[in-house]
Chains A and B, each alone.
Chain A
Amino acid sequence: MKAKHQRLILALVALAALIGAGLLAASALKDEAAYFYAPADVKSKGVEPGKAIRLGGMVVKGSLKRAADGVTIHFDVTDGKATVPASFSGIAPDLFKEGSGVVAEGAFDGKGVFVATNLLAKHDERYMPRELEGMSYNETTHQMKAEK
């Protein structure tokens, strides 16, 4: 065997070991490196009240209500599997609205309501011109279609 081939095999073995280690680390970090909890994670794992977490999901359509004090909003966050009620006092980002993504920082109170101290709007991967607003996007065919 030539020295060149020895070096090639050594490099490939090292690379394979490296990728394996990286994949192992990534899968071990699956929960720890997650930026937020989805409502289903909260329901299945249980998050004790008062523990600071981030909660991410979609704002349920029709759930957004403004309280009488004018600065507090109540809304439901869902990931399609579970739904969690949440509240927030303060200025929400412009892109925060019903039916779009949100990441809320805060903690659960004793009654299972998520009290957010900070709201971030989560943008999805769809980009389209204004004329196409109100059309829905088909995940499988990647085509735009008018809603109803």
Chain B
Amino acid sequence: MHRFANPARFLKIARPLTGWLFWSGLLLLLVGVACGLFVTPADYLQGDTVRILYIHVPAAWLGMGGWSGIAIAALMQLVWRHPLAGIAGRAIAMPGALFTAICLVTGSIWGRPTWGTWWEWDGRMTSMLVLLFLYLGYIALANASARDGQGGVSPVTAIFGLVGAINIPIINRSVVWWNSLHQGPSITMRGSSIDMAMLWPLGLTLLGFSLWFGAIVLMRMRAILAQNKVEARLQRLARS
């Protein structure tokens, strides 16, 4: 990873990769969403409401995956002092929070017709809401403790990112440990209880949204690096 400690070398790879991730991700997720809306059959119980899962599941996956990324970046920043780790953490926070919010909103829209309620304080929903608040806290802390010309996050923010990771396994296990309104996991190591006829577009949207997430993170990292450059140049100008 330290090969990419040099921003110039990182940018050489990140610049073309951004476009590839963005357009292939967009294509996959549009195909996946179209197939999920028009090709797959309706559920025997939920009817057409089930189709929201093609958005809801990738959003939940990326909300949790985003924080896992923040935690890994935090570890690399604290232990190996990797210069890009803090920038990666800051870049992940915003799209991670966005996808967590999308997950909560789509879940709520699905819950009203299926369960008969917009919101209940059960384990899964509460822990997911906590994840959204953790993201907001991380963003606020990162902005409040930012140091000029660095673009990364402060060590305190990194520690917060690491500590917050404890919520990820709690979200994952919440429907297993506790009686909850949210159903148990459909896709496990042993297989899937979602019928194959309805499952396959989920693979497309999962992959598509993930590639897109990667593209957004790379864009934001490049933007932060560009801003660092501008600030460094302004400082040099001010001194001369």
User: Besides A22-B169, A119-B116, A131-B41, 6 other CB < 8 A contacts?
Assistant: A18-B163, A34-B123, A56-B181, A95-B115, A95-B116, A142-B190
Contacts of B121 in A (CB 8 A): 35
Contacts of B178 in A (CB 8 A): 29-30, 33-35
CA distance A100 to B183 in the complex (A): 12
Instruction: Say yes or no: B44 contacts A11, CB within 8 Å.
Output: no
Instruction: Say yes or no: B116 contacts A127, CB within 8 Å.
Output: no
Given contacts A93-B116, A132-B44, contact A11 B179 (CB under 8 A): no
0/1 per residue, A106-135, Cβ < 8 Å to B? Answer: 000000000000011111111111111100
Contacts of A51 in B (CB 8 A): none
Taking the closest CB of chain A, its distance from the CB of B220, in whole angstroms, is 25
CA distance A57 to B189 in the complex (A): 26
Instruction: Say yes or no: A95 contacts B193, CB within 8 Å.
Output: no
- Give A residues with C-beta under 8 Å from B: 4, 7-8, 11, 14-15, 18-19, 21-22, 26, 29-30, 33-38, 56, 92-96, 100, 103, 119-133, 137, 142, 144
CA distance A34 to B126 in the complex (A): 12
Size band of the interface chain B makes with A: 35 or more
Instruction: Say yes or no: A129 contacts B42, CB within 8 Å.
Output: yes
Contacts of A132 in B (CB 8 A): 44, 195
Instruction: Say yes or no: B193 contacts A126, CB within 8 Å.
Output: yes
Contacts of B199 in A (CB 8 A): 127
Contacts of B216 in A (CB 8 A): none
Taking the closest CB of chain B, its distance from the CB of A8, in whole angstroms, is 5
Contacts of B113 in A (CB 8 A): 94
Instruction: Say yes or no: B43 contacts A129, CB within 8 Å.
Output: yes
Contacts of A38 in B (CB 8 A): 179
Interface centre among A18, A19, A56, A123 (most CB of B within 10 A): A123
Instruction: Say yes or no: A22 contacts B41, CB within 8 Å.
Output: no
Instruction: Say yes or no: A30 contacts B177, CB within 8 Å.
Output: yes
Of the residues B78, B80, B173, B194, contact of A127 by C-beta under 8 Å: B194
- Is B150 interfacial (CB-CB < 8 Å)? no
- Is B170 interfacial (CB-CB < 8 Å)? yes
Contacts of A131 in B (CB 8 A): 41
Instruction: Say yes or no: B114 contacts A95, CB within 8 Å.
Output: yes
Of the residues A7, A37, A137, contact of B193 by C-beta under 8 Å: A137
Instruction: Say yes or no: A4 contacts B177, CB within 8 Å.
Output: no
A-B contact pairs, 9 of them (CB 8 A): A22-B169, A30-B178, A33-B177, A35-B122, A37-B179, A124-B184, A127-B46, A130-B43, A133-B44
Chain A residue with Cβ nearest B191: A142
- Is B198 interfacial (CB-CB < 8 Å)? yes
Instruction: Say yes or no: B181 contacts A7, CB within 8 Å.
Output: no
* Contacts of B42-58 to chain A: CB distance below 8 A: 42-46, 50, 53
Instruction: Say yes or no: B194 contacts A121, CB within 8 Å.
Output: no
Instruction: Say yes or no: A128 contacts B195, CB within 8 Å.
Output: yes
Of the residues B41, B53, B183, B186, contact of A122 by C-beta under 8 Å: B183
Taking the closest CB of chain A, its distance from the CB of B96, in whole angstroms, is 20
Instruction: Say yes or no: A19 contacts B166, CB within 8 Å.
Output: yes
Of the residues B117, B179, B194, contact of A34 by C-beta under 8 Å: B179
